[in-house]
Amino acid sequence: MEIRKRHYYWWNKWTGYSILIVLVVATPLFTILFKLFDRPGDSWSHIFNNLLFDYFQNTILLLLGVAFFTFLLGVSTAWLVSNYEFPGRKYFEWLLILPLGFPGYIMAYTYVGLLDYAGPFHSFLRNTLDIQVKGSLIDIMNLPGAIFILSITLFPYVFLISRASFAQQSKTLQEASFLLGSNRTKTFFKVALPMARPAIVAGIALASMEVLNDYGTVKYFGVNTFTTGIFRAWFSMGDSSTAIYLAAILMVFVFAILYLESLHRGNRQYSAVNGINKPTARIHLSMVKKVLFTGICFLIFIVSFLTPFLQLLYWVSMTYEKVIDSEFFLLIFRSFGLAAVSGIIIVLFAVVLLYTLRLSPFKWIKSITKVSTLGYAVPGAVIAVGVLIPFLAFDKWIYDSFLSSKTAGLFLSGTLFALVFAYVVRFMAVGYNPVDAGFQKIGIHINEASRLLGTRSTRTLWKIDLPLIKTSLISGILLVFVDVLKELPLTLILRPFNYQTLATKAFDMATNEMIAESANAALIIILTGIIPIIFLNRLIKKREF
Amino acid sequence: MTILSLHHIFKKYSQAPEYAINDVSFDVKEGEILALVGESGSGKTTLLRLIAGLEHPESGSISLSGQVIVEGRESVPAHERQVGMVFQDYALFPHLTILENVKFGLQKFKGDKEKKVRETLLLVGLKEDFNKYPHQLSGGQQQRVALARAMAPNPKIILMDEPFSNLDAMLKDQVREEIRQIIKKTGVTAILVTHDTRDALSTADRIAILHKGYLQQIDIPKMLYEKPVNPYVANFFGKRNEILATPTAEGFYTPFGFIKDKKAGDYKGKVKLLFRPEHAEVVQNDDQQLIGTIFKVSYFGDHQIVKIADEEGKRISIRTNPGRTFEGIEKAFFYLWKYDVEEAF
């Protein structure tokens, strides 16, 4: 036993690793920040004069529209399933989450196919009712259409979070409201809704982030937003500094939403003060209301999941013989591989960061650890730009200093390394949060007890901490896996030349008038996505999450 | 012989405006049980964690069995200190059996580990269920396992954080006595942290009282009770009454009457008479007493507290046996059989 000469007792190898991870992961974000001070590109004035207003208008209308409809759909269904007993209530609790498995762009072209001349509605009208309709039944390839598509895929965020909030509201509080003479409806507006407000706002903020991240839907529908603008500046005009300017403006939107959300939350903690937290007993209803409530939930389920899902199944049944070949399996293998590698790296990083915080719980370590998770708020297209710039610079440096002009080549940019790196930056938070929750749940005393029994921190991690948070590690990997599988804009920008994943293949096929064929890849993405959704639902119900 | 000594320890948490530990120094003798007592936020748990190496002080030094383990910001890491700790929530490893839990600290133990584990478990009074998992045991049994796990590697000192707070009142008395005996049997030095003065009085050899990070007094229980160095310590072990009095050569004039006492001649100016509720007695009318108006009688099963007010309404509390009845009585006569005198200004 000897005394260690250390002036900074927080310094250990864990702090070292953590600082390194944070520096690497935060590089793309800082790149965007720094590049902002550069001169804008040549096409900036063109975009500024002709397109910027469009971008602003469409982005804002899209945000407001989706916020309104996700609120309406999410809160109403959450209130019904957490307060009333009606046929199918138990199933709707998870059926209504399933739309989350649909990436927006797949939902978009499935609906286009559904309403198409060859689609089921047209065929029904034509063949059964003998009514001829010219063109598309309803034209959804516009802004209202994009709002519809994004609302039905994103409302489950609001549903999930407000349902959890309604479930946690104490029984006694609502009973107090009843005793003071309020009926259910009045109680909803005066007690339950205000109490759930921070949760609902958080849910809408999540949905808004996804709206800003979306590229596939708006691109497919021809709605110009900041995300499509970044693509256009980068690919069509080859103007990276203008792309960065647009990315920076998009980031202002993101921070505005985050700021509004935190401002709203403030110091308010609308949770029950004391321990009486029994859930409210569900009310039994009259026959009419039973039918009505079941009908509402079922209609929303049909529109947001069942119809498009059946349409996909139908397309798959028509085309699978043509599409599914050895190359298709290679596609699955590649996509799953990318997703798994990203998931494992992210969870590994998360364990290192959070274990550092566990051993040295200082505020500044917590802050820099949080920096690593910022990527989740940043749209994929922005991250892609932030990753490409330093990588291209690195390639150029290698090329200029070591190689003759003959052997032009890419070392980092345009490689799978760049792609996985970008996934790690973007989805760090997705793996970080379950690991964090896992560590918090087992508490710090267990770790301290092990160290006081003479075990070093690394061995303690292997022997005590990791075995106890195994489920959290697996769910972290799984959640990242699904998100990577669905990811489109970032993959489109950073994938190696001609390299396809399930998501890019589905999108390419759909945009090339091969909607039915694209359903095969889409179905795999959706089915894989549904597994963790059900898993997540269980976790939330058990309040472990 | 001194086994642990703390010198001028200062500790501040970065978020907090004030020091959590303020210039604390004391020694612990080998084989002794010391209780650290204080309200929540007094710094008692912080002090324990500083000794364990789970927190680091701003300045000061700590030595354990002759070796310096903390000197300012330099320190021996927790896993090398050979300090045993029993956590408030026991912190048993849920994925390991009882046997494996106790064995966990014996990685460097030379000799028959299994035998050592069994011996230690027997010592704390566990005879079976060694292959069960912690959640299959009762709270009391879990605590014994936690104690066994801390003691198995023969630590230089055992630290216990609120060891009795998770036990119900019935079990508490029994466990306190058992734990004291187990510790005394092995001769190990122990420090326990508690907010409950009864825990401290019944288990510890010496008690240290902390308040807002300052060490108020460290002494044997009897001295703390009878010779508290300040009002905080005095009030910590139950209420103390104060009566303002004017001394003369013959005795003290108080709002409740005259107390004959030759000692009074030593004082000039106003004084305070300090006494505990059990150091006064309500009596039948005779001529050596004080008198006051009965304000309230509270019944507690094994005793009663009678609150008596003087003419200005200032109240004192006196403990009586539970059989006394005060119904229909307005005035009470009482005398003090033990009190301290302090200058009032």
Q: How far apart are CA B235 and CA A521, in angstroms?
A: 76
Strand-pair partners of B70: B62, B75
Q: How far apart are CA A55 and CA A44, in angstroms?
A: 13
Q: Which residues from chain A sit within 8 angstroms of residue B81, using beta carbons?
A: 1, 452
pLDDT, tens only, B73-129: 888 888 999 999 999 999 999 999 999 999 999 988 888 999 999 999 999 989 888
Cβ atoms of A505 and A324 within 8 Å: the answer is no
Q: Strand B157-161 and strand B83-86: pairing?
A: parallel
| A200, two tokens | 């609902």
Of the partner residues B71, B82, B149, the one whose CB lies closest to the CB of residue A3: B71
Q: Which residues from chain A sit within 8 angstroms of residue B83, using beta carbons?
A: 452
With CA atoms as reference, the chain A residue closest to B56 would be: A9
Cβ atoms of A169 and A196 within 8 Å: the answer is yes
What pLDDT, on the 0 to 100 scale, is given for residue A339? 94
* Predicted confidence pLDDT, tens digits, chain B (345 residues): 899 999 999 999 887 889 999 999 999 999 999 999 999 889 999 999 999 999 989 999 999 998 999 988 888 888 999 999 999 999 999 999 999 999 999 988 888 999 999 999 999 989 888 999 999 998 889 999 999 999 999 999 999 999 888 778 778 888 888 899 999 999 999 999 998 888 898 899 999 999 999 999 999 988 888 888 888 898 888 888 889 999 988 889 999 988 888 888 888 888 999 898 988 988 877 666 788 999 989 988 888 999 999 888 889 999 998 888 888 888 888 988 888 888 876
CATH code of the domain occupying B2-236 = 3.40.50.300
Domains B2-236 and B241-343 share a fold: no
Q: With 0-12 CB in 10 A as exposed, 13-18 as middle and 19+ as buried, what is A522?
A: buried
Of the partner residues A445, A446, A454, the one whose CB lies closest to the CB of residue B79: A454
pLDDT, tens only, A364-420: 888 888 888 888 888 888 899 889 888 888 888 877 777 655 555 566 777 889 999
Q: How far apart are CA A224 and CA A226, in angstroms?
A: 7
Say whether A468 and B94 touch across the interface (CB within 8 A): yes
Q: How far apart are CA B91 and CA A84, in angstroms?
A: 41
Residue A327 has pLDDT above 90, yes or no: no
Residue A274 has pLDDT above 60, yes or no: no
User: What is the least distance, in Å, from the CA of B235 to any CA of chain A?
Assistant: 31
Residue A163 has pLDDT above 80, yes or no: yes
In Å, what is the CA distance from A171 to each residue of A61, A165, A279, A285, A347?
39, 12, 5, 19, 38
What are φ and ψ of residue A382, in 5° steps?
-65, -45
Of the partner residues B15, B78, B93, the one whose CB lies closest to the CB of residue A464: B93
**Any B CB within 8 A of A365 CB:** no
A:B CB pairs within 8 Å: 89
Give the domain ranges of chain B.
Answer: 2-236, 241-343
How sure is the predictor about A273, in pLDDT bands with cuts at 50, 70 and 90?
very low
User: What is the least distance, in Å, from the CA of B13 to any CA of chain A?
Assistant: 9
Q: What is the mean pLDDT of chain A?
A: 84
The sheet carrying B21-29 orders its strands as B21-29, B2-11, B59-64, B67-71, B74-75
Of the partner residues A3, A448, A454, the one whose CB lies closest to the CB of residue B108: A454
pLDDT, tens only, A38-56: 777 777 888 888 888 888 8
What pLDDT, on the 0 to 100 scale, is given for residue A9? 64
| A45, two tokens | 């004035």
Q: With 0-12 CB in 10 A as exposed, 13-18 as middle and 19+ as buried, what is B138?
A: exposed
Residue type, A243: A
Between A189 and B218, whose confidence is greater?
Answer: B218
Q: How far apart are CA B332 and CA A510, in angstroms?
A: 97
Cβ atoms of A211 and A61 within 8 Å: the answer is no
Question: Which A residues 92-121 touch B at CB under 8 Å?
Answer: none
Q: Give pTM, 2 decimals.
A: 0.83
Q: What is the dihedral of CA A135, A140, A142, A143, to 10 degrees?
A: 160
| A308, two tokens | 């498009």
Say whether B69 and A1 touch across the interface (CB within 8 A): yes
Least confident of A123-127, A320-324, A332-336, A514-518: A123-127
How sure is the predictor about A275, in pLDDT bands with cuts at 50, 70 and 90?
very low
Question: Which A residues 22-61 touch B at CB under 8 Å?
Answer: none
What pLDDT, on the 0 to 100 scale, is given for residue A10? 66
Q: How far apart are CA B36 and CA B217, in angstroms?
A: 10
Residue A272 has pLDDT above 60, yes or no: no
Cβ atoms of B147 and B94 within 8 Å: the answer is no
**Any B CB within 8 A of A462 CB:** no
Which residues in B have their CB inside 8 Å of a CB on A? 14-15, 52-54, 56, 67-71, 73-85, 87-89, 91, 93-95, 104-105, 107-108, 149-150, 153
Of the partner residues B53, B79, B91, the one whose CB lies closest to the CB of residue A456: B79
Domain B241-343 has CATH 2.40.50.140: yes
Query: Exposure pattern of A324-346 as b/e (b: 16+ CB <10 Å)?
Result: eeeebeebbebbbebbbbbbbbb
In Å, what is the CA distance from B29 to each residue of A128, A354, B2, B181, B185?
97, 39, 4, 18, 16
Helices A143-168 and A104-114 pack at an angle, to 10 degrees, of 120
Closest CA to A241 of A494, A35, A388, A492: A35
Cβ atoms of A148 and A211 within 8 Å: the answer is no
pLDDT, tens only, A200-240: 888 888 888 889 889 989 998 989 998 888 888 887 887 87
Contacts of A164 (CB under 8 A, 6+ apart): A199, A540, A543
pLDDT, tens only, B234-257: 888 888 888 999 998 888 999 998
Say whether A3 and B104 touch across the interface (CB within 8 A): no
Q: Which residues from chain A sit within 8 angstroms of residue B74, using beta carbons?
A: 3-7, 9
Helix (H) or strand (E) holding B278: none
Of the partner residues A446, A455, A468, the one whose CB lies closest to the CB of residue B79: A455
Q: Which residues from chain B sit within 8 angstroms of residue A5, using beta carbons?
A: 74
DSSP labels, A480-491: HHHHHHH--HHH
Of the partner residues A8, A449, A457, the one whose CB lies closest to the CB of residue B91: A449
In Å, what is the CA distance from B335 to each residue of B79, B257, B279?
58, 10, 9
Q: How far apart are CA B200 and CA B225, in angstroms?
A: 12
Between A537 and A1, whose confidence is greater?
Answer: A537
What pLDDT, on the 0 to 100 scale, is given for residue A277? 52
Say whether A1 and B67 touch across the interface (CB within 8 A): yes
How sure is the predictor about A346, in pLDDT bands with cuts at 50, 70 and 90?
very high
Q: How far apart are CA A164 and CA A55, in angstroms?
A: 35
